[in-house]
Amino acid sequence: MTTAPSTFRVPLPDTLVDLLGKRVIDLPAPELELGLLREDVRAAYDRVRAQSPEAQVVVRRCRDLLNDPDGDGFAVLEVGPLLDHYGLDEGQKAATILLSWLGRPLRAFDKWPLWKPLGTNLTIDPMRATGSGYNPLHIDVVNATEPPDYSALLCVRPDPRGEGYSLVSQLRRAVDRLSESERAFLAEEAYHDGAFYDLTGVGKEYDPFPVLDGLSASEGFVRFTAKMLPDMDLHDPHTSAVRALERELIAEQKKFLLGFGDLIVVNQHLCVHGREPLGGGQEEVPEERRRLLWQMFLRAAKADA
């Protein structure tokens, strides 16, 4: 499979692309307050949605895909026409408007703009988001008390080597397939991952944290990241429980390539994401031609979480 199945793809009607192109210049810039899109800006964007039946259909389709507890918890919006017709700058603003209809845009990392660029850096750990290797299944900002509700990744430049398949897997169904003892270990505050600094809008550091917080899918998270496994004790039953969950997630994962303008949105209450390695010979590809994604987070309204 090379592209996301049509089941999960959400194309933008031409009329909606035209509408966003006409309105994007006059709408306010996506200015932030405490890391979140300013409320008056969000309201201005939402008025465009309210005036467009096509926009409302797209939003309903996305919400169905993202928030159905029996679904897979992700959607792929086809925003390539926005980037093609209006360029990267205005196209990025139009994509921001579109995402603001699904949740409130959040800049979690203080050192980055609202859209964080994820290029391809050959000098860092290949497992990292901007590395070239396998990026294992995870939710973003896993070690926070309030991780982002949604994680969005917009493909600006696919891997010219034709690899780097995106990975997604439904968390809640995987947890249900575990044994009672495995779930008991995952519910203990015994897990650690990464550093926590220069973050806004995601609560406080949670260290150690439980993988299972005992809350419903609308409120809680399965705080899973396979990135913590290399530092865990092989003989610890907590490690065995995490590996069991990872096996279940991998067994049911979906994989596909993101093409130019594909915007994947993941509900972090329901779904993990990751990436297979990029194609070989990346050192022969000029940096400005290597894979590039833009990342944004969203904070959901309570009714949509």
CATH number, domain of 113, equals 3.60.130.10
Rg from Cα positions in the chain: 19
199 within some domain: yes
Cβ–Cβ < 8 Å for 76, 10: yes
Reported confidence tier of residue 44, pLDDT bands at 50, 70, 90:
very high
Q: Considering its fold, how many domains does the chain have in total?
A: 1
Report d(CA 144, CA 205) in Å as an integer.
Answer: 5
The pLDDT tens digits of the residues spanning 215-242 come to 999 999 999 999 999 999 999 999 999 9
Do the domain assignments include residue 86?
yes
304, pLDDT greater than 50: no
Residue 1 counted as domain residue: no
pLDDT in tens, 164-219: 999 999 999 999 999 999 999 999 999 999 899 999 999 999 999 999 999 999 99
In whole angstroms, what is the distance from residue 137 CA to residue 126 CA?
A: 14
Residue 301 pLDDT class (50, 70, 90 cuts): confident
Handedness of CA 106, 111, 112, 118 (dihedral sign): negative
- Counting other chains too, the contacts that 175-183 makes at CB distance below 8 Å and 24 or more residues apart are 175/212, 175/222, 175/245, 175/248, 177/248, 178/241, 178/244, 178/245, 178/248, 179/244, 181/241, 182/240, 182/241, 182/244, 182/245, 183/212, 183/241
pLDDT of residue 1: 43
Report how far apart, in Å, the C-alpha atoms of 187 and of each of 39, 181, 202, 204, 262 are: 36, 10, 21, 19, 35
The neighbour count for residue 279, using CB atoms within 10 Å, is: 15
Neighbour-count burial of 288, counting CB atoms closer than 10 A to its CB (0-12 exposed, 13-18 middle, 19+ buried): exposed
What's the whole-model pTM score?
A: 0.96
pLDDT at 181: 98
Tell me which residue range forms the domain holding 28.
6-304
Q: What is the pLDDT of residue 6?
A: 83
Residue 304: phi and psi, rounded to 5, are: -105, -5
| The predicted structure's pLDDT at residue 4 | 67
Q: Which residues pair with 296 in a beta bridge?
A: 152
Residue 79 scores a pLDDT above 80: yes
Q: Give the closest residue to 223 by CA, choosing from 269, 263, 178.
A: 269
Structure confidence by residue, pLDDT tens digits, 9-35: 999 999 999 999 999 999 999 999 999
Q: What is the mean pLDDT of residues 95-124?
A: 97
